[in-house]
């Protein structure tokens, strides 16, 4: 059984914020694979389903971002998930807008949601899919305010394809594992080519 968790903040006011792009990916996967998300416990919404014959759980923490570890650790314990079978999807200020990177582990990189999960699990050894939201153009703009703000009108035109690509990456991770996912999705920011390669099961030619 695999577990994919999207990070974000609960509540309507945060729905379209940059910080909630992890939520958006899980909701898209839920729709594609017809996996209804229901209250799992006090800490998360989740649903069980299958991707390409593989069993998995999709989940959204009901805790706020800074307490994501509470929800993830509860899901891990309840469903007896091995850390190698956990994928966390989140935003990343240090990646250009629309660039995605998947890694098998590592530090939080300053992301408080990842930091909370690492602290709760006592380990950095779980996969994470980071989706670039870039940093604010104006140096004086507060990063915390920026991540909680909505995407611009121009950015919104690209969000659908970014989420679709992230879903393809999640699918590849479930079917073929972290190494194949890294080979396909970490080599180029060109979304259309990433989607073509993911769907065909081929690598990216550089």
Quick one: average pLDDT of 115-130?
98
Return the exposure string of 164-181: e unless at least 16 CB atoms fall within 10 Å of the residue's CB, then b. bbbbbbbbbbbeeebeeb
Question: How far apart (Å, rounded) are the C-alpha atoms in residues 76 and 94?
Answer: 28
For residue 96, pLDDT over 60 is answered with yes
Q: Would 15 be classed as within a structural domain?
A: yes
- pLDDT at position 192: 47
- Lowest model confidence (mean pLDDT) among 30-34, 79-83, 105-109, 132-136: 132-136
Is 111 considered catalytic here?
no
Band (76; pLDDT cuts 50, 70, 90): very high
Tally the domains of the chain.
1
- 104 is in which domain, residue-wise? 2-150
pLDDT band at 206 (very low <50, low <70, confident <90, very high): very low
Residue 205 lies in a domain: no
Report which of 81, 127, 130 is spatially closest to residue 104, judged by C-alpha positions: 127
Domain annotation covers residue 95 = yes
In a domain, 171, yes or no: no
Residue-level pLDDT at 200: 53
Backbone angles phi, psi at 201, to 5 degrees: 80, 15
Task: Please report the pLDDT score of residue 42 as a whole number.
Answer: 83
What pLDDT score was predicted for residue 92?
A: 94
80: alpha, beta or left, given left = phi > 0 and alpha = psi -120 to 50? left
Answer positive or negative: Cα dihedral of 161, 22, 137, 13. Answer: positive
Instruction: CATH number of the domain at 98, please.
Output: 3.40.50.1470
Per-residue pLDDT reduced to its tens digit, 131-145:
999 877 665 567 778
Q: Domain for residue 206, yes or no?
A: no
H or E segment and range at residue 45: strand 44-51
Q: Which two tokens stand for residue 120?
A: 């709760």
From the list 2, 19, 27, 130, the catalytic residue is: 19
- Evaluate if residue 197 carries a pLDDT over 70: no
Where would I find the H helices in 48-141? 68-79, 112-121
Residue 177 lies in a domain: no
Backbone angles phi, psi at 101, to 5 degrees: -140, 135
| pLDDT(204) > 50 | no
Domain-located, residue 185: no
**Mean pLDDT, rounded, for 64-79:** 96
The residue among 126 and 201 whose pLDDT is bigger is 126
Give the pLDDT confidence score for residue 198 in this predicted structure: 54
Query: Within a domain: residue 169?
Result: no
Average pLDDT over every residue of 87-116: 95
Q: What is the mean pLDDT of the chain?
A: 89
Mean pLDDT is lowest, of 55-64, 161-170, 180-189, for: 180-189
User: How does residue 205 score in pLDDT terms, banded at 50, 70 and 90?
Assistant: very low
């Amino acid at each position: 059984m695999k577990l994919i968790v999207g990070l974000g903040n609960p509540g309507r006011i945060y729905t379209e914020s940059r910080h909630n792009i992890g939520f958006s990916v899980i909701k898209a996967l839920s729709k594609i694979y017809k996996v209804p998300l229901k209250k799992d416990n006090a800490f998360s919404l989740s649903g069980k389903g299958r991707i390409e014959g593989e069993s998995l759980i999709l989940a959204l923490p009901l805790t706020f971002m800074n307490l994501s570890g509470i929800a993830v650790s509860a899901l891990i314990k309840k469903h007896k998930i091995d850390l190698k079978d956990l994928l966390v999807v989140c935003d990343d200020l240090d990646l250009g807008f629309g660039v995605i990177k998947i890694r098998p582990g590592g530090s939080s990189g300053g992301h408080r949601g990842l930091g909370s999960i690492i602290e709760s699990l006592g380990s950095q050894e779980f996969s994470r899919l980071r989706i670039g939201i870039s940093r604010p153009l104006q140096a004086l703009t507060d990063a915390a305010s920026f991540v909680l703000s909505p995407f611009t009108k121009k950015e919104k035109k690209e969000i659908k394809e970014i989420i679709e690509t992230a879903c393809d990456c999640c699918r590849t991770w479930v079917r073929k594992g972290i190494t194949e996912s890294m080979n396909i999705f970490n080599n180029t920011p060109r979304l259309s080519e990433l989607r073509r390669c993911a769907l065909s099961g081929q690598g990216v030619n550089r």
